[in-house]
Amino acid sequence: MKTATVSAYVDKDVKERAEAILSQLGLSVSDAINLLYHQIILRKGLPFPIDLPDEPQE
């Protein structure tokens, strides 16, 4: 299997919090990205709804 590198800028606190949860689930960041990408392919879109909120968030 050929692999490719994915690079992204993420807020440091968000990254740390997400990685802690992934670790508890027994997943690496690479595992999570691969899962997300596979779901995008299967669903031909994001695996969750993206909507605008009714009211602006502060």
Q: Which pLDDT value is given to residue 21? A: 98
Contact 47, 38 (CB under 8 A): no
Residue ranges per domain, the chain? 12-43
CB 44 within 8 A of CB 38: no
pTM of the model: 0.81
Structure tokens belonging to residue 42: 């299967």
The answer to whether residue 39 scores a pLDDT higher than 90 is yes
Examine the pLDDT at 57 and tell me if it is beyond 80.
no
Q: Residues 35-41: what's their mean pLDDT?
A: 98
